[in-house]
Structure 1
Amino acid sequence: MQVFVVFLVAVVTAVAAASSFLKDPALEDPWQEWKGLHGKQYSEETESYRRMVWEDNWRFIEKHNQEHAAGKHSYKLGMNHFGDLTNQEFNKMNGFRPDPALRKLPVFNSTGSTVRPTSIDWRVKGYVTRVKNQGVSNYIFI
């Protein structure tokens, strides 16, 4: 029994030490600024995990924006108050449930016969309103 307890303590210590090495020290200032901006506070047990998720999201955003600069995407991404959530957590919080039947629908392929403008500014047409922070609401306010 004592051997098991010693082993368990060693494992917990190793995991705790490893979690501190997983953090990117270069992201410490952005992490602290983001937490302050969005009023995020975590327990000691939660902080490492949330930081890891946030760093993964940060890297994803940075990679996407580099690809945007290279012309691979038509839009840029930015970090918001959901930055410490995984995709699964975000979708669960917002009630997203993918419809399996939609996976079987055919994909629309344009014949190319339609003349399309190179760009459309939907703001000029009055279809887009200013951005509003809706918190965690599942409703749209226009």
Structure 2
Amino acid sequence: MKIFVLLCIAAFGMAEFLSDDEEWSNFKSKFNKVYNTPEEEARRFEIFKDNLNHVREHQKKYDAGEVTYSLGINDFSDLTTEEFKIRYTGLRTD
């Protein structure tokens, strides 16, 4: 019985940490993301990974009670902060 409990704990713990590739695949599927070229997809994947790492680091702080709000992946997670500002707020930084 102890082994079963440990396996369950290990399985749930491992499910919390999907690889970047798995997260990317889930993101593209969930938000119906399609890119025009392999180069554009590679660029968006790099941006996504940066944003994913930011979310992961923030969630550690949230789980530790260091911040009061949580973050997650959404349909904007393949955009840089600058791209988001320009596209959705009209803010120009130039």
Provide the TM-score with structure 1 as the length reference.
Answer: 0.49
* Cα distance in 1 for residues equivalent to 2:48 and 2:40: 12
Note if 1:49 corresponds to 2:43: yes
Match of residue 77, structure 1, among 54, 71, 83? 71
After superposition, the C-alpha distances for 1:33-72 in whole angstroms (9 at most, x for unaligned) are 1101101011211011100000000000010010111111
Partner of 2:24: 31
* Cα distance in 2 for residues equivalent to 1:96 and 1:63: 29
* Cα distance in 2 for residues equivalent to 1:36 and 1:29: 11
Residues 1-142 of structure 1 aligned to structure 2 (within 5 Å)? 26-42=19-35, 43-97=37-91
SS in 1 for 2:89: coil
Q: Percent identity?
A: 30
What 5-or-longer segments of structure 2 have no aligned partner?
1-18
Which one scores higher on RCO, CA 8 angstroms, separation ≥ 6?
2
The structure where helix makes up a greater share of residues is 2
How large is the RMSD of aligned CA atoms in angstroms? 1.3
Name segments (4+ residues, structure 1) moved above 3 Å: none
Partner of 1:128: none
1:91 CA drift (Å): 0.3
Paired amino acid for 2:33 = K
